[in-house]
Amino acid sequence: MLHQFKDKKNTESQLKTVRDSAAEIDRVLTSTSLEGTVNSDWSKVKTELGTISKAFGMDTPAIDAAAAK
């Protein structure tokens, strides 16, 4: 994704793929009880995805919508 951004200054399709994948991960983590720091680590990742999405003028990640389902 970084290389494409440097080449074309456009990562919209790749970012959408990342956000869709994150939504799937979020659904799994929401329905599964895991030990350790998984939930807090995932929360940090979601925050970073939100920051990246906003930087590219996209709404907050699709994972927010997935968590609401």
Each residue of 20-62: pLDDT tens digit? 899 999 999 889 888 889 989 999 999 998 888 888 777 765 5
Which two three-digit tokens encode residue 63? 């994972």
Reported in sequence order, the residue ranges of the chain that DSSP labels E, i.e. its strands, are none
Is 62 within 8 Å of 17 (Cβ atoms)? no
pTM for the whole thing? 0.66
Q: What is the mean pLDDT of the chain?
A: 78
Confidence label for 7 from pLDDT (cuts 50, 70 and 90): low
Q: Where are the domains of the chain?
A: 2-68
CA Rg value for the chain = 13
